[in-house]
């Protein structure tokens, strides 16, 4: 059961991590106002879309995390994606109407899987968190 849960979590996280890469190819289309619950959230996404370098950085980080995730470097993948996950959750919490909105679902799932991966590798994190 644990192994099945682990594989399912990795597959779901992999699909979520592919979204920024697909976004760069234009397969997802441009974001529209009806995707967001506030004008501020839409303006923020528009600004990120216009600047574009953030999208490229996110895509590269997600590709590296995908490779790490499937080459038995799950902790590295979780640590790489953690800052992006926190920003996605914070965006929905503070700009887009809360964590229970439709747009926040993928961010919430990403956070739960990220926390799961950090939890199962917590013994390896102890040395990182120990005072030197």
Q: pLDDT band at 52, cuts 50/70/90? A: confident
Domain that holds residue 68: 2-129
Tell me if the pTM is above 0.75. Answer: yes
Model pLDDT, residue 84? 95
132, pLDDT greater than 80: no
Quick: pLDDT tens for 92-103.
999 998 889 888
> Nearest Cα to 19, choosing from 93, 131, 110?
110
Domain count, the chain: 1
Q: Which residues contact 41 (CB under 8 A, 6 or more apart)?
A: 91, 95, 96, 97
Contact yes or no for 85/110 (Cβ under 8 A): yes
């Amino acid at each position: 059961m644990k192994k099945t849960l682990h594989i399912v979590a990795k597959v779901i996280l992999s699909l979520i991590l592919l979204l920024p890469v697909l976004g760069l190819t234009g397969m997802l289309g441009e974001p529209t106002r009806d995707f967001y619950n506030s004008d501020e959230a839409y303006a923020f996404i528009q600004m990120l879309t216009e600047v574009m370098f953030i999208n490229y950085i996110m895509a590269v980080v997600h590709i590296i995390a995908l490779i790490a995730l499937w080459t038995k470097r799950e902790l590295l993948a979780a640590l790489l994606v953690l800052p992006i996950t926190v920003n996605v959750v914070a965006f929905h919490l503070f700009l887009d109407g809360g964590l229970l909105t439709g747009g926040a679902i993928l961010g919430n799932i990403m956070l739960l899987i990220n926390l799961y991966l950090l939890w199962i590798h917590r013994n390896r994190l102890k040395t990182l968190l120990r005072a030197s």
